[in-house]
Structure 1
């Protein structure tokens, strides 16, 4: 693998904008350190149980807080105006005159650590707007780049920049991310879907109908047998789709706390949507293109259906005429630029 380009060399060769490249390289340096900590986490004290709670009441492991510290400290050394992290209530202003803002989930899927399942770091890079806070309320189309690190059998970086998606792998002896595949494209028409089927009773009719059609196999309207996957790790599901194809569904449902979806729009759904679209796929909330959605609060949640463009389109069609889960048009996401319009 020594003949492969390093991340830094690849960004330079592709003419990546200087400030954006600096942010990506800063995140990569922090990811190298985090990968090493994750690898020995079972041997360390303080990584079991809940160390605190974030702004939405989700439990935080000690490694969540360590990851947050590593990533934010790295970004403070880059040309970054503001940082929005899942682990902090409000955006942090770093250098108000810097050109970029970064939204980040420092350690996505940390609940899977004790099960030795892949976890990751998800990031969204966007231009600074008229001020730091408003930068995070722009639609996902404003993103300059996005990506995720996945800490699994290999530590990898999936990077969406300049309208393409590239894949890098952390070389164990060089301790550098090296280019493994460029211009990644989602394989089309893979008969595979991912959803937590235990929640079927809470789904709306469109999601139930889609899953039922897939489960009907060759005897059903889709005329083929499907495999069902559920890793319960967003980065692992996204990586599988990029390599194998298929579709991932995390819909809104009727459970308390899930009526607006569960994933965060700004630092989970937006970056994943950019990756999917630039790899030839699509991402929707069932009614709208995710990249056209704007957040109204830093940690706003959203439904997410992503992957194969045809499958996402079919889901959108099934949602036509299905009533939203909200009981009132005054619901916070039901406005002109809300998630269900």
Structure 2
């Protein structure tokens, strides 16, 4: 049966914004981000071997070889966020410097994003995704990359999109908790599938990328040790 009262991402964010008596600017931002994610999802599925595996002949700020799909995703995200009239600074993993939005298009939000994370995993068919974090500009000064240097507690929202057998978008907001949306290709919308997701107080699975464990803070290392080897 066809659900005639489906909760889309847009509807969910609009309802949250209405409860918070917001201006609608955050909704504009997320709508633009969703459009970019849908476009990347389509590009990932339709990219030919040359675009998927091809190297663009450059490296990003973390030293990864940049694939053609990374560049496409980066351009898509930046253009969509700029045209949302809700951002003033965009920090991308693919750009050495922060992108300062033109004065006439500026809004009050700062977006930090990795447009296509894990593209080096494409060769072995491991899932790839988009990671993002959203802050509100707090300084009255002219926008700059320094505006993104805020503590995590200042986050307005954060999330990721995973391009796997289906495209999943997980969104965490300070007011609405963590919610999961699945892209329905039939209607081209993200549909709410898991509401208010929480981690159990105690579980039996330990999962963490410890590739940079030697750089962890001693307190973090001690915490992880207790989790891995509980008494």
TM band (smaller chain): 0.7 to 0.9
Pairing 1:4–2:6 present: yes
**Residues 1-341 of structure 1 aligned to structure 2 (within 5 Å):** 2=3, 3-15=5-17, 17=22, 18-41=24-47, 43-51=48-56, 52-78=58-84, 79-95=86-102, 97-130=106-139, 131-161=143-173, 162-194=175-207, 248-250=208-210, 252-253=212-213, 259=215, 287=219, 314-315=223-224
Partner of 1:186: helix, strand, or coil?
A: coil
Paired residues of 2:91 and 2:111 also in contact (CA < 8 A): yes
Offset at residue 49 of structure 1 (A): 4.1
The whole-number CA distance in structure 1 between the counterparts of 2:186 and 2:144 is: 39
Partner of 2:14: helix, strand, or coil?
A: helix
Offset at residue 189 of structure 1 (A): 2.5
Offset at residue 95 of structure 1 (A): 4.1
Partner of 1:47: helix, strand, or coil?
A: helix
Offset at residue 251 of structure 1 (A): 5.6
CA shift in 2, pair 1:36/1:137, >3 Å:
same
The whole-number CA distance in structure 1 between the counterparts of 2:166 and 2:51 is: 25
The whole-number CA distance in structure 2 between the counterparts of 1:286 and 1:99 is: 36
Question: What whole-Å deviation, never above 9, does each CA across 1:34-86 have from its counterpart, x for those lacking one?
Answer: 11111122x34232243220123211111111110111111011210010000
The whole-number CA distance in structure 2 between the counterparts of 1:39 and 1:67 is: 13
Partner of 2:219: helix, strand, or coil?
A: coil
Offset at residue 105 of structure 1 (A): 0.3
The whole-number CA distance in structure 2 between the counterparts of 1:135 and 1:144 is: 14
Equivalenced residues, count:
213
Paired residues of 1:30 and 1:71 also in contact (CA < 8 A): yes
The whole-number CA distance in structure 1 between the counterparts of 2:190 and 2:12 is: 10
Paired residues of 1:286 and 1:315 also in contact (CA < 8 A): no
TM-score of the superposition, structure 2-length normalised?
A: 0.83
Offset at residue 29 of structure 1 (A): 0.4
The whole-number CA distance in structure 2 between the counterparts of 1:50 and 1:34 is: 18
Partner of 2:169: helix, strand, or coil?
A: strand
- RMSD of equivalent CA atoms: 2.3
The whole-number CA distance in structure 1 between the counterparts of 2:42 and 2:118 is: 17
**Runs of 4+ with deviation above 4 angstroms:** none
Structure 2: where are the runs of 5+ without partners? none
